[in-house]
Structure 1
Amino acid sequence: MLNYRTEGPITAPPLLLGPSLGTSYALWDAVAPELSTAHRVVRWDLPGHGGSAADLIGAGATVGDLADLVLALADSLGIERFAYAGVSLGGAVGLHLAVHHPERLESLAVLCSSAHFNGEKPWRERAERVRREGMERLVESADARWFTAGFTVPRLVQDHREADPGAYAACCDALAAFDLRDRLADIAVRTLLVAGRQDPATPPAHLREIADAVPGAALVEIPGASHLAPAQCPEAVLTALRTHLDGGARRGMAVRREVLGDAHVDRAQARQTPFTARFQDFISRYAWGEIWTDPTLSRRERSMITLTALVAHGHFEELAMHVRAARRNGLTAEEIGAVLLQTAVYCGVPAANSAFATAQRVLAEEEAGPDGG
């Protein structure tokens, strides 16, 4: 199994982060902790890099082989669908997943990567050199390939030095054989491309080529960034990823408005403060964006369950809000009464008595209309 590190709540939406060739999951050190406030972040190491065993792949490996290892890791963690972001070779893995396993992806972010890596020859030559000479000579040029002049991250350079030559060469084989240009139009998942404007390995034109071919894709170019943008410009990468990943919050906010009504949501948003902002985001992203959008139950059924739970715990202010929501979700006054009568049996008569009083007030207000008559 690939070596990995997890951060963030286990119940949060999962986000897998893929590394660049020659690095470990430390590439994401400046970004992953911030992303983990709203996601279950899983960072993984390439074979022979960081803590991953070298024998997970061999000579002649493909990006598809690496993608299979990532899916096996997700399966072992009980993760069915996930957002994915990857750098360079890690980005190529994301593209492969989007083309060949779209049912597993919620969204895709491809950073400093390409749908092809300038042909087979340079990668075959690099693989042969590494198998013959080891990593040291290649490490000498790491800063020039990865960062702009005068910038370095010693931990990542050390990762490069310690990578297993055979596994590194096998990853070079994978890059040599990779070319998905003729399949980019098939990608249907929401996609973000991030380019470093000073990236010599995968310049912005490579990311623009993907953005132009993938329907609806967005492209962000980061000034001052070279090939390892998450390490060199973490704030810019974090901003781009947060904007991209908040699809669940947007979807949740739309459902929240449909169920609770614009007036209620507008009041809640108006009362929002920096102290409560993360809680409001949690409600929109998780309760409304994940649970209420699950098609297993209808909204009518969810309303009935919610009414029962609120009565059971005595949350009668919330109950009034969800009686209105139940009406929007198609329940009649008689059906709401039947639900509350059921709660009298299983939650107790006093709780049901208070619930009937709350529901009667709300239904009377609805019948009277906004003008009271």
Structure 2
Amino acid sequence: MFVDLNGFVAHVQTDGPAGGGAVLLLHSLGTNLHVWDPQAAALARAGHRVIRPDLRGHGLSEAPEGPYTMDLLARDALGLLDGFGVRQAHVCGVSIGGRIAMEMAALAPDRVASLMLCDTALEFPPPEAWQQRMDAVARGGMAAVADAVMERWVLDQSLPSSKALRRMLLRTDPVGYAGCATALRDTRGADVIGRVTCPTTVVVGDKDASTPPAAAQAVRDAIPGTEFVTIADAAHIPTFEREDAMTRALLAHMGRVVPTPGASAAEAGLAVRRAVLGEDHVARSDAAANALDAPFREFILEGVWGRVWTRPGLARRDRSLLCLAMLAALGHDDELRLHVRATRNTGVTEEEIAEVLLQVAAYAGVPAANSALKVAKATLDEMRRA
């Protein structure tokens, strides 16, 4: 379908049930939405609502005159979610798509449930290399850079899928390519570092020369609690050349951060509990479980995590804020400490914790807020030292 979006006409494809959890897939520079075909099919079969746009200037989308910025491209994607009535989505991106996804999470943390970032980076130096590439395209069209680009995209250019990628590249509008290349040239890691806190998986091909494993590790280190996956014998765009490995990584990410459609309340609750409290905490808690607390654990998983935290009416971040306020007001210090630690996964900032505790002081009393403030300060200090 085609939609009016932020001043241009965008081409968008949707797959899967309309009522499924939304997954936004963002492609790489010089390709189009079809670069995600294998993974989109797998997500749709699993019951997810998959939304795939052609970025501005790519595929069948219009190519407005540039330059473009990463902020502009992120707002395109957020506007697309608005147009489809999607309040919150899991966002997955390859290369520039991954960087756009990070920008979205920094701009509007309540709109991004999780991130899967494939073969991307915080920034893409050196600027002069991008300018040289844009100048070459301006002089000779996409064919002027095709050979050099393909060497970085795949390991085996003889594969039918690699030839399909080359056709995508050659059919890309030079105006759109140059606009997005400008965004990559000018983007800076400082724009997102410290501002992305949602559950994240970083995936990188072990032979990616464009955004090598060191760049992926920098992304991992910038986002608390990030999972890290390396795909063997993969270059910059593994969605075709290493289709099975990429699909497994994506489905594993979705299984970690969202309940599987059709899952029981306990299964759904366990998935959300892991995403909010963290894999390590849940593993320690489960290891200490015994016959005495098994019924209580089942009640919490099903009744609280599986039936309350999974409801669509509030974003996970909003539920986190409410938990902090209520636990502080009631003086439940141990649980408060646990949910302060969970803010690294829910996107709640220290400034927001301070505002919550002011509300507690106003409506539940200064002594309760003062006690909670001491717990929160000590816990945040521990988190910074860890």
> TM range, normalised to the smaller chain?
0.5 to 0.7
Residue 131 (structure 1) aligned to one of 131, 134, 138: 138
Distance in 2, matches of 1:294 and 1:27, equals 32
Distance in 1, matches of 2:89 and 2:19, equals 12
Residue 194 (structure 2) aligned to one of 185, 209, 212: 185
Look up the match of 2:86.
Answer: 79
Residues 316-371 of structure 1: per-residue CA shift (max 9 Å, x gap): xxxxxxxxxxxxxxxxxxxxxxxxxxxxxxxxxxxxxxxxxxxxxxxxxxxxxxxx
Instruction: From the superposition, tell whether residues 33 and 287 of structure 1 become closer, same or farther in structure 2 (CA, over 3 Å).
Output: farther
Corresponding residue SS for 1:141: helix
Residue 290 (structure 1) aligned to one of 307, 310, 314: 310
Cα deviation for residue 95 of structure 1 reads 0.9
Q: Does 1:52 align with 2:61?
A: yes
Residue 33 (structure 1) aligned to one of 20, 41, 53: 41
Look up the match of 2:125.
Answer: 118
Distance in 2, matches of 1:292 and 1:129, equals 48
Residues 282-301 of structure 1: per-residue CA shift (max 9 Å, x gap): xx9997763388599x9xxx
Residues 238-289 of structure 1: per-residue CA shift (max 9 Å, x gap): 22222211222289536758xxx967998xxxxxxxxxxxxxxxxx999776
* Residue pair 2:269, 2:305 contacting (<8 A) in 1 also: no
Distance in 2, matches of 1:295 and 1:122, equals 41
Please, what is the CA RMSD of the aligned residues? 3.1
Look up the match of 2:176.
Answer: 167
> 1:1-373, aligned counterparts within 5 Å?
1=5, 2-36=10-44, 37-55=46-64, 58-152=65-159, 153=161, 154-181=163-190, 183-246=192-255, 247-249=257-259, 253=266, 290-291=310-311
Q: Aligned AA for 2:57?
A: G
Cα deviation for residue 48 of structure 1 reads 2.0
Q: Aligned AA for 1:26?
A: H
* Residue pair 2:153, 2:236 contacting (<8 A) in 1 also: yes
* Residue pair 1:248, 1:289 contacting (<8 A) in 2 also: no
* Residue pair 1:116, 1:181 contacting (<8 A) in 2 also: no
Distance in 1, matches of 2:80 and 2:269, equals 33
Corresponding residue SS for 1:54: coil
Instruction: From the superposition, tell whether residues 256 and 149 of structure 1 become closer, same or farther in structure 2 (CA, over 3 Å).
Output: closer
Corresponding residue SS for 1:130: helix
Cα deviation for residue 181 of structure 1 reads 4.3
Look up the match of 1:361.
Answer: none
Look up the match of 1:307.
Answer: none
Distance in 1, matches of 2:269 and 2:223, equals 30
Gaps of 5+ in 2: 271-292, 299-303, 320-386
Distance in 1, matches of 2:47 and 2:151, equals 34
Distance in 2, matches of 1:263 and 1:102, equals 35
* Count of aligned positions: 278
Corresponding residue SS for 2:90: strand
Corresponding residue SS for 2:247: helix
Distance in 1, matches of 2:237 and 2:92, equals 13
Distance in 1, matches of 2:312 and 2:36, equals 32
Distance in 1, matches of 2:118 and 2:268, equals 31
Instruction: From the superposition, tell whether residues 294 and 181 of structure 1 become closer, same or farther in structure 2 (CA, over 3 Å).
Output: closer
Cα deviation for residue 185 of structure 1 reads 2.6
Cα deviation for residue 130 of structure 1 reads 1.1
Distance in 1, matches of 2:170 and 2:315, equals 49
* Residue pair 2:197, 2:223 contacting (<8 A) in 1 also: yes
Q: Aligned AA for 2:266?
A: M
Instruction: From the superposition, tell whether residues 293 and 181 of structure 1 become closer, same or farther in structure 2 (CA, over 3 Å).
Output: same
Residues 148-198 of structure 1: per-residue CA shift (max 9 Å, x gap): 134542222111111111111111100000112463232111111000001
Q: Aligned AA for 1:198?
A: K
* Residue pair 1:10, 1:40 contacting (<8 A) in 2 also: yes
Corresponding residue SS for 1:138: helix
Choose 82-91 or 68-77, whichever is displaced more.
68-77
Instruction: From the superposition, tell whether residues 52 and 288 of structure 1 become closer, same or farther in structure 2 (CA, over 3 Å).
Output: same
TM-score for the superposition, normalised by structure 1: 0.68
Q: Aligned AA for 1:8?
A: G
Cα deviation for residue 141 of structure 1 reads 3.0
Gaps of 5+ in 1: 267-283, 299-373
Distance in 2, matches of 1:198 and 1:216, equals 24
Residues 61-99 of structure 1: per-residue CA shift (max 9 Å, x gap): 111111111111111111110000000010110111111
Distance in 1, matches of 2:39 and 2:306, equals 22
Instruction: From the superposition, tell whether residues 150 and 285 of structure 1 become closer, same or farther in structure 2 (CA, over 3 Å).
Output: farther
Distance in 2, matches of 1:253 and 1:131, equals 57
Instruction: From the superposition, tell whether residues 129 and 190 of structure 1 become closer, same or farther in structure 2 (CA, over 3 Å).
Output: same
Distance in 2, matches of 1:172 and 1:35, equals 29
Instruction: From the superposition, tell whether residues 256 and 264 of structure 1 become closer, same or farther in structure 2 (CA, over 3 Å).
Output: farther
